[in-house]
Amino acid sequence: MRTEELKPGELILGHNYSGNPCSKVGVVHEVTLLAKQLLVGNGFLVPFSSAEKLLEDGCLLIEGNLIQDIGITRLLQKRYPQSEFIDAGRGLIMPGLINAHSHLYSSLARGMPFGFAPPSNFLQILERLWWRLDRALDGEGIYYSALAGLIAAVRCGTTTIIDHHASPSCATGSLEAIARALKEVGIRGCLSYEVSDRHGSQSVREGIEENLRHLDWCQEHGEGMISGSFGLHASLTLSDDTLGECRDSVSGKEVSFHLHLAEDRTDVEDCHKKYGKTITSRLEEFGILGPKTIAAHCVQVTDKELDILGQTDTKIVHNPRSNMNNAVGAAPIARMWEK
């Protein structure tokens, strides 16, 4: 007998693992989980731990929001004859995927023109595409971009999104708009608002307040499905004063940080020029690193920086598709494994 907690949208049914995973994926939604007993079977059941083996004719029993039993399809059908049955069609039955660093508002960037000459470096990509887009977002745009991104995520088997949001013209209430989309789609999310100095002190204050507001909101309304972290953009747009203010605003609380770290040489060179140190050393001095912190990209990091990230147990998320899109290089994954 197995008992595993299952939240709505957390179980993925990949109908044909040899086909296109983004077009043939189904998710057990909240409405289905209301069934008294539900069997999902006739599929390749991916184990929930390394100690278990792949079941070629796997099946599992769901009661409420708990996985109560796992076994062979015909045996579980015989054991629970009154249960509703979903046929996985010889596809994969597996835990949902996790997107550990996303920008849901980027759903609106598809086909967006640069408006100027094509960018020739990373900073120009930020200025001509991403920063133009996030400035233009209003409440409606935030909600619908999140909805589009979440639907795309579900179609690809992703049931948890860790999102890093920015909308400097509409910071207040932005994370609640994304949370509303999360609840409608029915998957898990951890949301943060990107604090940055690029729009001045008032924008910094609004960003900090939005993070704190969302953290409080999650306590009452997250329902175990939506949580929060504290968003920071990157070293190159965060002064010492701002970093200190962000750190102090959550002092004494168990709050995680989510930021971009050494995504491009521009960030690295800016930190050396302004502060005479590496980005990782700077963040460590401010107490930003730690076991709950997500450091996205980490493309341009030294071995010493990897040592610091390892010693602080900071979680690194590498983003190969984004890095290729922005032409910033690739994270040193092999060296990370060695560390």
Can you give the CATH number for the domain in which 105 is found?
A: 3.20.20.140
Tell me: do 121 and 240 sit in the same domain: yes
Give the angle 183-184-188 at the CA atoms, nearest 5°. 40
Supply the pLDDT for residue 23. Answer: 36
Tell me: do 80 and 214 sit in the same domain: no
Can you give the CATH number for the domain in which 84 is found?
A: 2.30.40.10
Tens-digit pLDDT profile for residues 257-297: 999 999 999 999 999 999 999 999 999 999 999 999 999 99
Q: How far apart are CA 294 and CA 44, in angstroms?
A: 32
Tell me: do 128 and 212 sit in the same domain: yes
Tell me: do 183 and 42 sit in the same domain: no
Tell me: do 54 and 200 sit in the same domain: no
Q: 10-residue block means of pLDDT along the chain (339 residues)? A: 46 38 41 68 89 91 89 97 95 93 95 80 92 96 98 94 98 98 96 98 98 97 96 98 98 95 97 98 98 98 97 96 92 90
State the virtual CA torsion across 136, 139, 145, 146 in degrees, nearest 10: 140
Tens-digit pLDDT profile for residues 152-208: 999 989 999 999 999 999 999 999 999 999 999 999 999 999 999 999 999 999 999
Tell me: do 112 and 217 sit in the same domain: yes
Tell me: do 90 and 151 sit in the same domain: no
Tell me: do 162 and 259 sit in the same domain: yes
Tell me: do 139 and 216 sit in the same domain: yes
- Chosen domain end from 30, 63, 95: 95
- Chosen domain end from 95, 119, 136: 95
Tell me: do 52 and 168 sit in the same domain: no
Structural domain boundaries, residue 39? 4-95
Number of domains in the chain: 2
Tell me: do 140 and 258 sit in the same domain: yes
- Chosen domain end from 55, 80, 95: 95
Tell me: do 25 and 150 sit in the same domain: no
Instruction: Output the 3-class SS for the chain.
Output: CCCEECCCCCEEEECCCCCCCCCCEEECCHHHHCCCCEEEEEEEECCCCCCCCCEEEEEEEEECCEEEEEEEHHHHHHHCCCCEEEECCCCEEEECEEEEEECHHHHHHCCCCCCCCCCCCHHHHHHHHHHHHHHHCCHHHHHHHHHHHHHHHHHCCEEEEEEEECCCCCCCCHHHHHHHHHHHHCCEEEEEEEECCCCCHHHHHHHHHHHHHHHHHHHHHCCCCEEECEEECCHHHCCHHHHHHHHHHCCCCCCCEEEEECCCHHHHHHHHHHHCCCHHHHHHHCCCCCCCCEEEECCCCCHHHHHHHHHCCCEEECCHHHHHHHCCCCCCHHHHHHC
